[in-house]
Chains A and B, each alone.
Chain A
Amino acid sequence: MILLNLNLQMKKYRSTILSSTVSSCTELPDVSKRMDDIHRPVSRFTRFTSRAQLLSALSLLILVCSLFPARSFAQDWVRTGSGLGVDKVRLAVPDFKPSNGDSQNAELLKTFNDTFWNDLDNSGVVELISKSFYPLQVPGQPPEVTFGVWNSPPPNAAMLTFGNLAVAAGKVTVQGWLYDVKNTASPEVLGKQYTDVPTGDAVRVIAHRFADEIIFRLGGGIPGIAESKIYFVSDRSGHKEIWVMDYDGSNQRQLTHLGSVSLSPRISPDGSRLAFSSLTKSGWDILMYSIDLNRVVSFPHFGGTNLSPAWAPDGLHLAVSSSRGGNPQIYVCDSSGANLHRLTSNKGPDVGPVWNRKTGAQIAFVSGSTGLPQVYTMEADGTNEQRMTDQGYAVSPNWSPNGQFLTLAWIRKYGPGEPGSSDIYLMDIASKQWVQLTHDGGRNDYPSWSPDGRHIVFESKRSGKEELWMILADGTKLHQLTFTGRNTQPNWSWK
C-alpha cells in the first residue's frame, strides 16, 4: 500500500480540505495524471471558470482506492479520505454572552450555543479548539477581544467567533462576528446581526444561518448545510410513516398519517414536493406529498408494484421501479406522473434508481438480473448499462452532488461462511475504485449525500435497532441522529 499526500494551498480561502490521502493498490501513479483521471468526468460538463469553483471541486475530492485484503495486517482496512494529515483552521468558539438582563436570555443562549457549536463541529472544515483552553474572560463585543490570549497557546486560534444575544421588546437579537485573530490590523472577516421572535426554534435557525456563513467562508465557498432537512421513515407512531427533521436531528415531526406502510421518501430538488411509495388498497403506489400544502396530492395509479421514486435534478422527471409490465423494471415519467415509459428490460428485479445529481444525464440503479443485486449505471435514456459492483450484495446507490461519486450499501464478502455485514462505501464512478466508509457496525443501508457533499446520512442497526447516523465523507465524525422507534431510509434535501 503506497500513500502519498497532495498539498494544494489556496491561501485566499484558508481552505482546509486541500489535501488528500491517496491509497493506491497498483503502481504509484503520477500525481498530476491521477488528478486528471479523477476530474475527467466532471470536466466534460463544466469548466472551472473561477478560482472558487475550482476550489469547490477540489474540496469535494475524495480519492478512492480498492483495498485488497492484506492478510499480513491485523486489520484489513485503512482510513482514506479528504482532509487527512492536514491542519484544519483552528477555530475558537466561546459561548455567546447575554447583552442585557432579560430572563429569557439564559435558555435561548443555551439553545444557540449548543446548536452553533454542533454545526461548526459537524461541518468537517474546521478544528474546534476545546473550551478548556479559553481564557476566563471571553468577548461578547469586538472591543472585548484581546488578540494576544487567542492567537497564542494555549488556544493558538487562527479564527475566533464570538457574539451576544438579548431579548428586548418581544424580539431576540443575535450579533455575531468572525475574527482572524492573527491579523490584528484588520481582523474582521464577518459581522452579522439577526432578529426574530424569541423562541428556541427561531434561535436554532439563527445559529444555523450564522454557522453556515462561517462554513461558507472557511470551507472553500461551499454553502453550509445547517438549514438542510432530512426526510425519513419512522415507525414510532405504530405505522411506517414519512417524517422530517433538521440535519442535526432536532425538530423531528411526522408528515404523513396514512396508517399503512410508507417507504422511500424522496424530496424534490426545490423542496416543495415529496415522492414516496405507500401500500394502498390497490398495492404499492407512488404517492406525492406537497410540503407547501401539508397533504398528499393526486398522482396517477400505475398498476403493479411501484417503488423507490427518484427526482431528476431539473425537478421535471421521476424515475421509479414498477412491475406494471410484469417484472420490476426502471421507468421514467414526468413529475406529474404522465408519459410513463420503461427504461430497462432484463429478467431481474430493478429498483432504487437515482439520477446523476449534477448533470441529470445518467441513472444509477440496482438490478438482480445476474443473481444477487448489483449496482449499475446507464444513460438517462436507458442505453449504455454499466455494472459498477463486481461481487456481493450491492444496493441503495446515491449520487454525490458533484456527480463524481456514488455512495452505496454493500455486503462485499457474501455467501455461506462469509459473515459479511452491509457497510457504506464510496465509489469513484470513472474508475470504479471504492473505499469503505463504515466498519464493524451492524447492518448499514440507504446512504444519502448532504448538499455540500461532505456528509452522508444513513440507516444503521449498530445501536441494536435501525436508527439514522451521520458520518463525514472522509469516514470521521460518526454520530447518531435519531433515538426513538425505528428510523430508516433517510433522504437529504438538495439544499
Chain B
Amino acid sequence: MKHQSLKGLATTIALAAVVMLGACHKKTAPPPPPPPPPPAAPTASISVSPDTIQPGQSATLTWQTSNATDVSIDGIGAVQPSGTQQVNPNDSTTYHLVAKSSGGTQEATTRLTVTPAPVAEAPPQTSATEEDLFGRSVKDIYFEYDKSDIRGDQQSAIRTDAQFLNQHSNIGFTVEGHCDERGSTEYNLALGDQRASSVKSALVSAGVNASRIKTISYGKEKPFCMESNESCWQQNRRGHFVYQK
C-alpha cells in the first residue's frame, strides 16, 4: 500500500536525520585534561580535522600527550606520544586515545562523521521533516456506517487539521475516502467519494484552499484493517490524508 511505504520511508529518513544531528552535538564533548600535581600523571588530547567527511575523503587525526610511556589509539594501535595521521574510514568512527604511565592513565576521544553524498542529503531532509510533520499533525476523519457527514466527535480533528494546513500552505494533499467491507462494491465506491468530498468541503470551509486538495475514493478496495468486527470496520470508515508535494 502506497501510503504505508511512504510512511516507512519518511520514518527512515527522519531517523537518519536524528542520528546525524546527534552526532554533530557529540563532537563538542571531548577535552577534559586536568593535570594532577602528583608525580607524573599523563595528559592527552586528540582531535580530527575536518570532523565531517564523505566516503572516500580523508581527515587528519592530531593527538598530543605528555608524561605518557604507552600511547595507543583504538583501531590504529600503538602510536608516538604526539603525532598526526591521515584516516579515511567509510563509516563514522570514534577515535579513542589511551595514554598510560606509572602515574596513571588518561583517555581522550574524538569523532569523525562520515555522511552520504550531499546531493541525497539536503532535499529529502527538509521534505521528510514536512511530510513527517504532516503525518503527525493531520488526523484522519472517521465516519458512521453508511454516512458521509462529519460527525460531532470528528469536528475537533477537522479544526486541528485545518489549522495545521493553513499554517503550512505550501503542502498539497489527497483525501482518500474509505469504507468498511460490508455492502456492495459499487455503492461503497460512491460512498467513499462522498466521504472524501465531505472532508474536503469541511476543510475549505475552514479556510484551506480547495486547489490544494485532491480526492479519491477507494471504497472497500484498500482496507486498513482486515478483520470482520466493529472496531476494524470503524478503522476502515475514514477520510485518510496523504501528503502530496
Contacts and interface: CB of A to CB of B under 8 A. Distances in A.
B194 interface: yes
Given A307-B186, A323-B194, 13 more contacts: A240-B221, A304-B193, A305-B190, A321-B186, A349-B190, A349-B194, A352-B184, A366-B184, A366-B187, A373-B183, A373-B187, A396-B184, A445-B185
Contact of B185 (A350, A371, A489): A489
B197 interface: yes
A395 B184 contact: yes
A125 to B, nearest CB: 32
Nearest to A240: B221
A489 B190 CA distance: 16
A393 B185 contact: no
B217 interface: yes
Interface string A350-362: 1110000000000
A304 B184 CA distance: 20
A345 interface: no
28 contacts: A264-B185, A283-B216, A284-B216, A304-B193, A305-B193, A305-B217, A307-B189, A323-B190, A326-B197, A327-B194, A328-B190, A349-B148, A349-B187, A349-B194, A351-B186, A351-B187, A366-B186, A366-B187, A368-B146, A368-B187, A368-B190, A372-B146, A373-B146, A373-B184, A395-B187, A396-B184, A396-B186, A489-B185
A218 interface: no
Contact of B186 (A240, A279, A352, A372): A352
Contacts of A307: 186, 189-190
B195 to A, nearest CB: 10
A115 interface: no
B162 interface: no
B186 A263 contact: yes
A268 B154 CA distance: 45
A327 B190 CA distance: 9
B216 A308 contact: no
The 9 closest A-B pairs by CB, nearest first: A349-B190, A328-B190, A305-B193, A395-B184, A351-B190, A323-B193, A308-B186, A351-B186, A305-B217
A488 interface: yes
Given A305-B217, A326-B197, A395 B186 contact: yes
Given A261-B221, A326-B197, A349 B191 contact: yes
Given A261-B221, A326-B197, A368-B146, A321 B190 contact: yes
Interface string A300-314: 000011011000000
A366 B197 CA distance: 20
Contacts of A321: 186, 190
A395 B191 CA distance: 13
Interface size class, chain B: 10 to 19
Contacts of B194: 323, 327-328, 349
A409 interface: yes
Given A308-B186, A371-B146, A328 B221 contact: no
Contacts of A351: 186-187, 189-190
Interface of A: 240, 261, 263-264, 279, 283-284, 304-305, 307-308, 321, 323, 326-328, 349-352, 366, 368, 371-373, 393, 395-396, 409, 422, 445-446, 488-489
A373 B217 CA distance: 18
B185 to A, nearest CB: 6
A261 B216 CA distance: 13
A259 to B, nearest CB: 14
- Most chain A CB within 10 A, of B184, B187, B216, is at B187
B230 to A, nearest CB: 11
A283 B221 CA distance: 13
A488 B189 CA distance: 15
Interface string B169-212: 00000000000000111110111011001000000000000000
